C-alpha cells in the first residue's frame, strides 16, 4: 500500500447457491500526492458453508466480474474449470495450501494478474493461465506432476520458469508467445518437449536440454529469435518440422546422438547459421530444411541420404561449397535455387534426375560435370547460371540435347 491509501471500505455479502458465502467489498484508493479521481477496487472472500465444498466453480463469483483481489479459504482443493476466466481486473489471489488442482481455463485471460503462488498444486490443466499477459511470476512446487497444453500461453510478462522433476513432458504450446521468458530450467528426467512448447519465446538466448530427453516435437522452438546455440541430446533421433524455424540468431548446433531424420523446414530461416555438421546417421533431409539460411557457407550431406528434396537449400545465398554423396540419385525442384555464391559442386556418380529449377540463378556456377548415370534434366534446371563449360559423361544425353539445356555458347566436352 506504499503508493496508495484507503479512503473508506464497504462490505456486503451474498449467498451464491453453491453453499458458499461470498463476502465482498471495495476500497477506494488514490495515488500518493495525487488530487485526481478516486479508484474503487473490489475484493471478495469466499466462505464455504458446507465442509463438502472443495471446489471454486465457474459462476461462484457471478456478479463480481471486476474484482481485483480474492481470498480462497482453506479446504478448497480445486479451482474449477473457467472459475476466474475473463476476470480482467483480477490482480491478486490468495490460494491456500490445500489447493491441488488448477482446472482448464481457470484463470484464462486474467490480464491484470501479476503473480501467483501454487505452493502444493499437483495439476495445472490446459489453458489454465492462457492470456495472463501481465503475469510475471509463477511459483510452483516439486509436487507438480502435470501441466496441460497451452497452460501459460501468451503470458507475455513471464520471465522465468523452473519445471519440477515430476513433470516428464512439456505439452503442446505450454509457453507459446511468452515473449519475456528468458530463463527456463529443465530437469534431468524430462523426456519430451511438446509441439510449439517455446514457440515465439523471443527472449530465450540459451537453454540446456536434459540428457535424458528423447523427443522434440515440431515447432518446439519456432521463432525463438534470440536463441544462439543448441545441443541436441543423444536420445533425440529426429528433428521435427519447423523445430528451429526462424531462429534468426541460432549460429551453433551440436548433435550428440544418432539423428536419422531432419524434417521439413527444421532450420529454415536460421539466418545466422554459418556451418552445421550433420551426423553420418542422417538418412533423410526433407524439403526446405535449410531454406533461407543466408549465411550458411558449406555443408557435407551424409552418405545415407539418397535424395535432395524440394527447396532444401533454396536461397542459401552464401553457400559456396556442397559435398553430395554418391548415394544421391535425385536432386528435386529448387533444391539449390538462388544459391548465388555456389561455385563448387560435384554431382554424385549415381545421380539420375535433376528436376526443374534445381540450380536456377546459381549465378557463380560456371563449370559442371554430368555423371554417366544421368538420364533426365529439366529444361530450366540451370536457368540463370553462367555456365561456361559442361563436361558430359552420359551416353543418354547428346550434344544437341545439352545445347538445348545450357545454350549454344556453353562449351560441351
Q: 255 with 267: CB under 8 angstroms?
A: no
The structure's pTM equals 0.89
The residue among 222 and 50 whose pLDDT is bigger is: 222
Kindly state whether residue 18 falls inside one of the protein's structural domains: no
Residue 392 is assigned to a structural domain of this protein: yes
Mean pLDDT of 344-348: 90
For residue 289, give the C-alpha cell: 530444411
pLDDT beyond 80 at 169: yes
Residue 333 within a domain: yes
pLDDT band at 168 (very low <50, low <70, confident <90, very high): very high
> Is the pLDDT confidence value at 16 over 80?
no
Start-to-end Cα distance in the chain: 87
Q: How many residues does the chain have?
A: 413
Is residue 379 one of the residues assigned to a domain?
A: yes
Contact call for residues 235 and 259 (beta carbons, < 8 A): no
Contact, 200 vs 177, CB < 8 A? yes
Concatenating the DSSP letter of every residue in 312-335 gives TTTT-TT--EEE--TT--EE-TTT
The predicted model gives 385-411 an average pLDDT of 82
Distances in Å between the Cα of 146 and the Cα atoms of 65, 129, 140, 169, 305 are 29, 14, 11, 8, 39
Kindly state whether residue 122 falls inside one of the protein's structural domains.
no
- Res 38: pLDDT: 41
pLDDT at 135 over 90: yes
In a domain, 27, yes or no: no
pLDDT for the residue 134:
97
Query: For residue 47, what is its C-alpha cell?
Result: 466462505
Which residues constitute the domain of residue 378? Answer: 297-413
Q: What is the CATH number of the domain that holds 348?
A: 3.80.10.10
The count of domains in the chain is: 1
Considering only residues 65 and 68, tell me which one the structure prediction assigns the higher pLDDT.
68
- The model's pLDDT over 223-259, given as tens digits with 9 standing for 90+, comes to 999 999 999 999 999 999 999 999 999 999 999 999 9
Which has the minimum average pLDDT: 27-36, 97-106, 170-179, 357-366? 27-36
Q: What pLDDT is recorded for position 12?
A: 46
pLDDT digits (tens, 9 = 90+) for 252-299: 999 999 999 999 999 999 999 999 999 999 999 999 999 999 999 999
Give yes or no for residue 301 having a pLDDT over 60.
yes
Does residue 325 belong to any structural domain of this protein?
yes
Give the pLDDT of residue 52: 78
Report which DSSP code applies to 399: H
| pLDDT on residue 37 | 46
321 within some domain: yes
Amino acid at each position: 500500500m506504499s503508493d496508495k491509501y484507503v479512503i473508506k471500505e464497504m462490505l456486503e455479502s451474498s449467498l451464491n447457491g453453491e453453499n458458499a458465502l461470498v463476502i465482498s467489498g471495495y476500497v477506494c484508493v488514490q495515488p500518493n500526492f495525487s488530487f485526481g479521481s478516486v479508484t474503487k477496487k473490489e475484493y471478495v472472500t469466499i466462505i464455504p458453508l458446507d465442509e463438502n465444498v472443495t471446489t471454486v466453480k465457474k459462476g461462484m463469483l457471478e456478479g463480481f466480474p471486476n474484482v481485483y483481489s480474492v481470498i480462497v479459504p482453506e479446504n478448497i482443493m480445486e479451482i474449477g474449470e473457467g472459475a476466474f476466466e475473463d476476470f480482467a481486473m483480477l490482480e491478486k489471489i490468495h490460494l491456500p495450501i490445500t489447493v491441488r488442482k488448477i482446472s482448464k481455463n481457470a484463470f484464462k485471460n486474467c490480464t491484470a494478474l501479476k503473480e501467483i503462488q501454487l505452493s502444493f498444486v499437483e495439476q495445472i490443466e490446459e489453458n489454465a493461465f492462457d492470456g495472463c499477459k501481465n503475469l510475471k511470476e509463477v511459483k510452483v512446487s516439486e509436487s507438480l506432476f502435470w501441466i496441460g497444453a497451452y497452460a501459460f500461453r501468451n503470458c507475455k510478462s513471464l520471465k522465468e520458469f523452473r519445471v519440477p522433476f515430476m513433470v516428464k513432458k512439456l505439452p503442446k504450446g505450454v509457453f507459446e508467445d511468452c515473449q519475456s521468458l528468458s530463463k527456463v530450467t529443465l530437469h534431468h528426467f524430462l523426456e519430451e518437449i511438446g509441439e510449439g512448447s517455446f514457440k515465439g519465446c523471443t527472449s530465450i538466448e540459451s537453454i540446456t536440454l536434459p540428457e535424458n530427453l528423447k523427443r522434440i516435437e515440431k515447432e518446439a522452438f519456432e521463432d525463438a529469435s534470440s536463441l544462439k546455440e543448441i545441443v541436441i541430446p543423444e536420445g533425440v533421433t529426429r528433428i521435427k518440422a519447423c523445430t528451429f524455424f526462424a531462429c534468426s540468431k541460432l549460429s551453433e548446433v551440436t548433435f550428440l546422438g544418432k539423428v536419422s531424420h531432419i524434417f521439413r523446414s527444421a532450420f529454415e530461416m536460421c539466418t545466422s547459421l554459418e556451418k552445421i555438421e550433420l551426423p553420418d546417421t542422417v538418412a533423410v533431409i526433407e524439403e526446405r530444411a535449410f531454406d533461407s539460411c543466408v549465411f550458411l557457407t558449406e555443408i557435407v550431406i551424409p552418405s545415407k541420404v539418397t535424395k535432395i528434396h524440394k527447396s532444401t537449400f533454396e536461397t542459401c545465398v552464401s553457400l559456396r561449397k556442397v559435398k553430395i554423396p554418391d548415394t544421391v540419385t535425385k536432386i528435386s525442384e529448387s533444391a539449390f535455387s538462388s544459391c548465388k555464391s555456389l561455385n563448387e559442386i560435384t554431382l554424385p556418380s549415381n545421380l539420375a534426375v535433376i528436376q526443374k529449377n534445381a540450380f536456377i540463378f546459381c549465378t557463380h556456377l560456371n563449370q559442371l560435370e554430368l555423371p554417366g548415370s544421368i538420364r533426365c534434366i529439366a529444361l530450366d534446371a540451370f536457368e540463370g547460371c553462367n555456365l561456361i563449360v559442361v563436361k558430359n559423361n552420359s551416353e543418354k544425353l547428346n550434344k544437341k540435347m545439352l545445347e538445348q539445356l545450357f545454350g549454344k555458347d556453353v562449351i560441351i566436352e
